[in-house]
Amino acid sequence: MKLRHLVVALLLAANVITAIGVVHARHDYRQLYIQLTRLERARDELNVDFGRLQLEQATWAMSNRVDQVARERLGMRFPETAEIVVVRP
């Protein structure tokens, strides 16, 4: 009879320890899922910013924009035909 009580007590202890382990694992899972959701949201925001920056870069790199800035800010112009010199080796 005493052995039977000991076995029941050990099984009860194992059951409680397993239940605590399950609760702990579920808690960890929830915390990791929350972190994953935050990181995915941050990734999506960064992707939107990256798209905006690519669009801005394309706008600034357009040949019309470069030509306009070269003429207005730098005072550059296309050379006249008489001003072009061809250098040959």
3-state secondary structure the chain: CHHHHHHHHHHHHHHHHHHHHHHHHHHHHHHHHHHHHHHHHHHHHHHHHHHHHHHHHHHHHCHHHHHHHHHHCCCCCCCCHHHCCCCCC
Contact 72/66 with Cβ under 8 angstroms? Answer: no
* pLDDT value of residue 65: 80
Helix axes 63-72, 2-61, angle to 10 degrees: 60
70 — pLDDT class (breaks 50, 70, 90): confident
* pLDDT value of residue 67: 85
What does the pLDDT average to over 80-86? 89
63 — pLDDT class (breaks 50, 70, 90): confident
pTM: 0.57
